[in-house]
Amino acid sequence: MITNVVDPAPVAVARASTRHKVERLMALVGAILLVSSEIAFGAIAAGWAIAGLFSLGPVVMTVIDGIMLSIGTVFMVWFARNAIRSEFGAG
């Protein structure tokens, strides 16, 4: 008697592979958020320290914070792109 039974092994492998990719993606998102927040807070702290060191006013401190945060954003994007490229082999 011949029956059309589908082997469940390839389906299980595909599900395990998808689950592994999701786990890698979640770990990557967590790392990107952690590093990006450190960069952002470091940039704001650097602006605050520079303004305090030279006794600049609050308006100048805010401008320096904006400049430092803009530079920090460039590094955040750079880190995220390289982390994704490293983890998933894109590009």
Q: 74 lies in a domain?
A: yes
| Domain annotation covers residue 36 | yes
Distance, C-alpha 43 to centroid of its chain = 16
Task: Say how far apart CA 29 and CA 86 lie, in whole Å.
Answer: 13
pLDDT of residue 18: 83
Spacing of C-alpha 19 from chain mean position: 20
Helices 9-53 and 58-88 meet at what angle, rounded to 10?
Answer: 160
pLDDT at 21: 87
Cα 52 from Cα 46, distance rounded (Å): 10
pLDDT tens, residue by residue, 60-91? 999 999 999 999 999 999 999 999 999 888 65
Count of structural domains, the chain: 1
Per-residue model confidence (pLDDT) at position 11: 61
Residue 1 lies in a domain: no
4 in helix, strand or coil? coil
Give the confidence band of 10 by pLDDT, cuts at 50, 70, 90.
low
Residue 2 belongs to a domain: no
pLDDT tens for 11-43 read 666 676 888 888 999 999 999 999 999 999 999
